Structure formats: C-alpha cells, structure tokens
Amino acid sequence: MNNIFAQQIAGGETFLGIELGSTRIKAVLIGKNHEPLASGGHSWENRLQDGLWTYTLDDIWCGISACYKNLADQVFEKYGVKLETVGAIGISAMMHGYLACDSGGNLLTPFRTWRNTNTAKAAAALTSRFNFNIPLRWSIAHLEQAILDGEEHTAEIKNLTTLAGYIHWKLTGKFVLGVGDASGMFPIDSKTCTYDAAMLASYNETLKARGLPFVMEDILPIVLLAGETAGFLTADGAKLLDPAGTLKSGIPLCPPEGDAGTGMVATNSVAPKTGNVSAGTSAFAMIVLENALGALHEEIDMVTTPAGAPVAMSHCNTCTSDIDAWVSMFGQFLETTGTSISTPEKYDLLYNASLEADPDCGGVLSYNFYSGEPSLRLETGRPLLVRTPDCRWTLPNFMRAQLYSALCGLKPGLDILFDKENVELRSIIGHGGFFKTPKVGQQIAAAVFGVPVSVMETAGEGGAWGMALLAAYSVMGKNRALNDYLETEVFHSFPCVTVEPKTEDIAGFGAYYKSFTAVLDAERAAAALI
C-alpha cells in the first residue's frame, strides 16, 4: 500500500490542506481517495500588543514553513519520497479579523485577530444600519471601529482581507477569498454568492461622507466559490512554504477558506438541513439553511458554506471547562485512595454514569459559566451548583447536569431557529472533546437538538483535512455540487456512529432547561457578589 501512496506523492496526485488555528497550525496531505497520508503541525500563540491581540508576520511565515517542513519530513520518512509537488493546495485560517494593506501590499497595522473586542460600538452601529447582525469579530466591524477611532491609516487602505486571504495572496499574487471566509468579513447575499449589494452601497455612502478615498468593492477580496481555481503557486510563494526549495511552483490553489467552512466540509455538513456542533472549551452549532432568515436575531451569526449556502450559527463561550474541573477533582479523590487510572478513563467513567441519571437530573442544576454568556444575557460568569434539599442527589444526576449545562448556552439560538424561523434540521455531526466518550455526548446532544447526532472517525483530522478536501474538489469535482461530491466520493465509506434522540431525554432536557433559566438570577447574583 505504501508503494501506491508513494507513487501518488511522486506523481503529484495528492492534495494539501493547511489551516492556521488559534494555537496550532496544521497541514494534512491526502491521497486520491481522500484518506490522510501524512500530517504536520506547529504550535503558536497570539500576543497582546498595544492592547490588541495579534500574531506577527514572522509568527505567520515561520509557523507555516515549520508546519510544512514537519509534514514533508513525515512524507519522506513514511514513503521515501521527497514532496516536490501536489495536485492542489488549500489555505485556511481562523476567520474574521483585520489585515489592512497599503498600495505596496504592506500591512498598515499589526494583524488584529478575531479575539479583539474593542469593536462593540462599531458592531452595534453596523447592525442597526444594515438590519443584519454584525458580530464584534467581523472584519467590517474592525474597519468601522478604526474609522470611528480616527486611525490615520484608514485613508491609505488599498486591500482588506483575512489571515487565509492574506497568505493566499502572498503565495499566488491573487487577491481573492472563498465565500465562506468572505461571509465573516462583510455580509454575503447567498442568491448572488457575493457581498450584499445594498449593504455595500449603504456603507459606501458613509465612507464618502467621511472623505475616505475608497469604496468597499475596491478593497475587499474577490469572492470565489468552492471548486474554482484561485491562482497558482508562484516561485516566491513556494519559497515561503518551503524555504529549502524542494517544492515546485505552478501548483493550483483552491479558494482560501475560514475555519468554519473547513469544519463544515470535514463533517459533511454543507447540505441544507444538516449541521455540525463543535463542543470543547466553547461550543457552536452551525446549521445549513434552505433560505436566509426572515428577521434580525443578535443571537445568531449568519455565514455561508464554501459553496455559498446560508448558515446560521449559535455560539456559547463556555462548554466543557467546568466538566474538566470536576473530573480533575474526582481524580484527586481517587489518588487519595491509592487508585490510579488514566485521564481518558476518568472521563469515560463519569460520562457513562450520566446514562443512569433521571432525564431531568432529579432537581440538580449546574451553571458552568467561566465568563459572560451573551446568549443568556450574562455579562460575567461564576461556576455554580444548585440543588434542593430533597433532590435526587446521585452521581449520575450530577454528571448529567454537568453535560446538559455545557450545551445550555446554545439553546436560545436554537429556539430562535426552530420556533421562530421554522428551520428544519435532519441530522447533526458532533466533534470536539464533549464527544470523545463513545455515544454519551451524542445522547445528550440529541436531547438538546431533537435530531440524530453522528460522530465520524475522520472528524478528528480537523479543518486542515477539510481544506485538503476542498483542494481535491477543485481538481476532481468539476461540474458537481460540493455536497454531492462529499457525500458520494468522500463520506460514503467512512465510519460513522449515530445516536437517535430519545423521547424521554428530550422531555427531560426541556424540564431541566426550564428550571435552569428560572434560576439564572442566582447566577447573576453570584457573579455580582463573588
């Protein structure tokens, strides 16, 4: 088998995806059958500079080249072949943020990441102006805030893009962006699959009134859809990826995408009425819609799939942090008894205990908030455990309360989608630490969403694998819809475990959530007093 893969690598019949996440850069090389052949990684951290979170250009390019070298070294070790070329490359990165450049392509400010929250005034003004939710992290909010703050560099802006768009631009010379990533810069009209024309015109009036020398169409990247060719690797670009000089130029690149889009692809969640939920330190659910929402909802972020279909996202800041803390404490108790078990075993024991719980947790309530939770109107958070004296105080009920609370922050957004907007959802894919114990997280999520929840073995490869799939699609998926290509060519044979929702669990979570929201004032009081 290795000989077959070696031949594919030598013949340039593989596809490379690179994704720059918040703490790790990852590269995945896949074969013609979409299976991962090798991977590379590089850890990095953002830094606080002049009050704003950023990564330097050295961080970016040294990180990418180190990640690529790690991958290329693994390819040679496993297959005995030097990685000289591939069928196509795709670049992905954390969405949103602010990279503004002058006429020479030079950054006018350090890269401002999605993590910065200094844009509240701008986001509120734009949301009101557009009648469309503009979150703090969006690129247009960063631009508007810079203008409101009187930053002189705004008059010199010639190009504005995201991290993935910037890297792609420097690798190919093409100033373009995949529609999914673009949808986190400025609102997208899913009928035209480009920036919303009416909102562009509205904002351009503001720019003109302020005397700024550009309109948004001049500075935003050209929007491309998945499957389109987005340029070719230049000689200079090849040296940025591989300073050793082994990688050849001329390789086609697919449109650069954001991490939300690659997550959808990696979980086969790009067709209408499908979705995915990522549950780890934070949680977000992304549901692909048949049509745009009928009204503005500040609890819902609107983005698109890499093919341009509208996607509604419900997000919560805190998910598994309090679970992790309790698992750690129970582990300390075991150590005092002289019992030693691995960390995964601790999680499995406690997660599985929740399966024996009362569906409504028997009167036990857990509030897992380590920070504020906008979806529940909480400005700050304090982990809190509440129970009545006559509750059914058992380990199973305690653990199920922990698991329920981890997803409660998603519920306001889901209620808007299902009850007010009548969004239909057939199934959802789960990924992240919440789902590591087989079937338990799925059963809890199925109670919350009311639909079957699946977990794929391949989802663990993450967004870099999803980006590699988009690179492969740009070469092998001509004249085929992205969802059809993924369904028939990629995921038809990949292992998947599905858990159906139970009627008693749906009712139990409903009862739990009703009590949970009724006692939120206690959480607010704890945050104010402690």
What is the per-residue pLDDT across 310-363, written as a single tens digit (0 to 9) for each?
Answer: 999 998 888 999 999 999 999 999 999 999 899 999 999 999 999 999 999 999
**Dihedral Cα 4, 8, 9, 11, nearest 10 deg:** 130
Q: DSSP of 203-257, one letter per residue? A: HHHHHHHTT-S--HHHHSPEEE-TTS---B--HHHHHHH-TTS-S-S--BBPPPE
Asked if 339 and 240 sit in the same domain, the reply is no
Among 210, 227, 255, residue at a domain's last position: 255
Among 255, 282, 303, residue at a domain's last position: 255
Q: At what angle do helices 343-353 and 321-336 cross, to 10 degrees?
A: 110
pLDDT at 457: 72
- Please indicate, yes or no, if residue 508 is contained in any of the structural domains: yes
pLDDT at 196: 97
Range of the domain at 365: 321-400+504-529
pLDDT in tens, 248-271: 999 999 999 999 999 999 999 999
Among 226, 255, 284, residue at a domain's last position: 255
- Please indicate, yes or no, if residue 212 is contained in any of the structural domains: yes
Asked if 250 and 333 sit in the same domain, the reply is no
Helix, strand or coil, per DSSP, at residue 194: strand
Asked if 96 and 220 sit in the same domain, the reply is yes
Q: Which residue has the tokens 């790790």?
A: 24
Asked if 247 and 371 sit in the same domain, the reply is no
Predicted confidence (pLDDT) at residue 461 exceeds the cutoff of 70: no
Asked if 234 and 382 sit in the same domain, the reply is no
pLDDT at 458: 59
pLDDT at 460: 52
Based on the structure, what is the number of domains in the chain?
A: 2
Cα-to-chain-centroid distance, residue 277 = 10
Among left, alpha and beta (phi > 0; psi -120 to 50; other), residue 379 is: alpha
Asked if 245 and 341 sit in the same domain, the reply is no
pLDDT at 479: 86
Structure tokens at 330: 């129970």
pLDDT in tens, 60-113: 999 999 999 999 999 999 999 999 999 999 999 999 999 999 999 999 999 999
Asked if 64 and 164 sit in the same domain, the reply is yes
- Please indicate, yes or no, if residue 149 is contained in any of the structural domains: yes
| Closest alpha carbon to 435 in 278, 224, 256, 303 | 278
The dihedral built from the CA positions of residue 361, 365, 369 and 373, taken in this order, carries a sign that is positive
pLDDT at 317: 83
- Please indicate, yes or no, if residue 198 is contained in any of the structural domains: yes
pLDDT at 403: 98
* Beta strand ranges found along 250-291 (DSSP E): 257-258, 274-279, 283-288
Asked if 122 and 220 sit in the same domain, the reply is yes
Asked if 230 and 368 sit in the same domain, the reply is no
The enclosing domain of 183 has a CATH number of 3.30.420.40
Asked if 10 and 156 sit in the same domain, the reply is yes
- Please indicate, yes or no, if residue 496 is contained in any of the structural domains: no
How far is residue 301 from each of residues 119, 136, 187, measured CA to CA in Å? 16, 11, 10
- Please indicate, yes or no, if residue 430 is contained in any of the structural domains: no
β-pair partners for 314: 285, 300
Asked if 236 and 355 sit in the same domain, the reply is no
- Please indicate, yes or no, if residue 202 is contained in any of the structural domains: yes
In what order do the strands lie in the sheet containing 496-499? Answer: 300-304, 310-316, 283-288, 274-279, 427-431, 453-456, 496-499
Asked if 87 and 236 sit in the same domain, the reply is yes
Contact 127, 146 (CB under 8 A): no
- Please indicate, yes or no, if residue 408 is contained in any of the structural domains: no
